A and B are shown apart, each in its own frame.
Chain A
Amino acid sequence: MEEQRENIETDICVVGAGPVGLFAVFEAGLLKMRCQLIDALPQVGGQLSEIYPHKPIYDIPGYPQILGQELVDRLMEQIAPFRPGFTLGERVETINRNDDGSLTLMTNEHSTINCKVLVIAGGLGCFEPRKPAIDGLTEFEGKGVAYLVRNPEVFRDRNVVLAGGGDSALDWTIFLADIAAKVTLVHRGDTFRGAPDSAEKVFALAKGGKIDLLLQAHVSALHGDGRLQELSILTPQSPVARIAADHFIPLFGLTPKLGPIAEWGLAITQSAIPVKPEDYSTNLDAVYAIGDINTYPGKLKLILCGFHEAALAMQSAFKYIYPAEKLNFKYTTVYGINTF
């Protein structure tokens, strides 16, 4: 049997910790509903943290200008009193309906979350590593191929090949140079436009013989017997050279893919989930979709609109969970923020 990481019971499970998922936790918290947030990325913030942390945003009420990451930090501060649970770095793969109408979600890391209401705030979908078209790449996933460095110790005294020319390729090359037995960086260009300081360090490491730097080169195939052993490399000098490798780490950034959400029995049109504009409920009972992932007449993919959707969806979720209780709507200025 596969190892199960966590087993969580909660009122509301929010899939997607982008700005809209984070704000849904606040709206749920005001109504005293407990939330668990899950995101495939190791950090919260969705597109803001992943694509544009340093870009100013001008259309958040009350902030004439705020940086993407700053808004995420503020949202985290705003929801802290409600102490939501976080399952980060795990992708929700399946949802199942239980006899009592509740839902059980399972992640790729075998965590399970039981909830009364599911809120899908999945934005553009999961950010997944860009995978180069290399023969044998997927075959060796988990057997030598990794798309991110979770625990650098895995690479201690091993022979590691990295590919890519962005900041993370440079940063990990520098970091692993001190840990691995041998580090090779393969880059398609002959210059790096990542942080100039990191690029200089990489060139200095190569000059000093600490790493091998293969420029204008491409990894074309992976070989091994059950585990990765060798890579084929194309360079202008040699059409195919084989080099030994225990690990191959292609670092080409992330790209959003709808992913498992498409398999959950939701009606999906053009990669978006159609919802009822009055409460953003989907075709499935107790399942809401808010933010960039949903669609309805007049939909605007803006953070502001996602916040509004979160508020209405959480009011509706309260009525679903507590049908007998009257939702006595008051402004937060009247209620204050009552935490758990």
Chain B
Amino acid sequence: MNADGSQEPLEVPVNINLSLMEVLRAGGYPIAGTCGGIALCATCAVDILSGNEQLSPAGDQELDMLDLLPQSTSATRLGCQLRLRPEMDGMVFRITPAG
């Protein structure tokens, strides 16, 4: 979902073994991913607007980083910790502004 509330579909092959952060970054979306995906910077946060139940729960290191995001909710995740899987089809998310 874009800042103005419009939605943009994102099509990705499922067998490329990339994270959501990597795919978004490659697609030119404004997501920093400063630490390159090792859950050390929290600049890749996304808010899951629908489909949260499809995701496996966050690990300790991811939760530590989410604690540093003032706006994070139970539906905020680190894009770099979400490997793309077929189950994620249809998920709606927004890049967290303060990420």
If the complex has contacts A51-B35, A124-B34, are A189 and B40 also in contact, measured as CB distance less than 8 A? no
A140 CA / B79 CA spacing, docked (Å): 33
In the complex, are the beta carbons of B63 and A252 less than 8 A apart?
A: no
A52 CA / B37 CA spacing, docked (Å): 13
A83 within 8 A of B: no
Tell me which residues from 30 to 71 in chain B have a Cβ below 8 Å from any Cβ of chain A. 32, 34-35, 38, 40-43, 60, 63-64, 67-71
Most buried by A among B63, B64, B69, B98: B69
Could you say which of B35, B42, B72, B99 contacts A52, with CB atoms under 8 Å apart?
B35
If the complex has contacts A51-B34, A256-B32, are A166 and B64 also in contact, measured as CB distance less than 8 A? yes
In the complex, are the beta carbons of A250 and B34 less than 8 A apart?
A: no
If the complex has contacts A51-B40, A55-B40, A193-B63, are A130 and B70 also in contact, measured as CB distance less than 8 A? yes
- The interface residues of chain A lying within 8 Å CB-to-CB of B38 are 55
Could you say which of B60, B98, B99 contacts A132, with CB atoms under 8 Å apart?
B98
A52 CA / B61 CA spacing, docked (Å): 13
If the complex has contacts A51-B40, A255-B43, are A133 and B68 also in contact, measured as CB distance less than 8 A? no
A166 CA / B40 CA spacing, docked (Å): 13
A326 CA / B27 CA spacing, docked (Å): 49
Contact with B along A49-65 (1 / 0, CB 8 A): 00110010000000000
Closest Cβ–Cβ distance, residue A135 to chain B (whole Å): 13
In the complex, are the beta carbons of A253 and B64 less than 8 A apart?
A: no
A301 CA / B24 CA spacing, docked (Å): 19
A97 within 8 A of B: no
- The interface residues of chain B lying within 8 Å CB-to-CB of A166 are 64, 67-68
In the complex, are the beta carbons of B63 and A130 less than 8 A apart?
A: no
Could you say which of B34, B35, B67 contacts A193, with CB atoms under 8 Å apart?
B67
Most buried by B among A165, A250, A256: A165
Could you say which of A47, A131, A192, A253 contacts B68, with CB atoms under 8 Å apart?
A253
Most buried by B among A52, A250, A255: A255
A84 CA / B70 CA spacing, docked (Å): 38
- The interface residues of chain A lying within 8 Å CB-to-CB of B69 are 130, 252
Nearest CB to that of B35 among chain A residues? A51
Nearest CB to that of B67 among chain A residues? A165
Nearest CB to that of A255 among chain B residues? B43
Contact with A along B67-99 (1 / 0, CB 8 A): 111111100000000000000000000000111
A131 CA / B69 CA spacing, docked (Å): 9
- The interface residues of chain A lying within 8 Å CB-to-CB of B97 are 133
- The interface residues of chain B lying within 8 Å CB-to-CB of A192 are 67
- The interface residues of chain B lying within 8 Å CB-to-CB of A164 are 67-68, 70
Closest Cβ–Cβ distance, residue A232 to chain B (whole Å): 15
Can you name 18 extra interface pairs (CB under 8 A) apart from A131-B98, A165-B67, A194-B64? A51-B35, A124-B32, A130-B68, A132-B71, A132-B98, A133-B97, A164-B68, A164-B70, A165-B68, A166-B67, A188-B73, A189-B67, A192-B67, A193-B64, A250-B70, A252-B98, A255-B98, A256-B34
Residues on A facing B (Cβ under 8 Å): 47, 51-52, 55, 124, 130-133, 163-166, 188-189, 192-194, 250, 252-253, 255-256
Residues on B facing A (Cβ under 8 Å): 32, 34-35, 38, 40-43, 60, 63-64, 67-73, 97-99
State the 5 A-B residue pairs at the shortest beta-carbon distance, nearest first: A132-B70, A253-B68, A165-B67, A252-B70, A193-B64
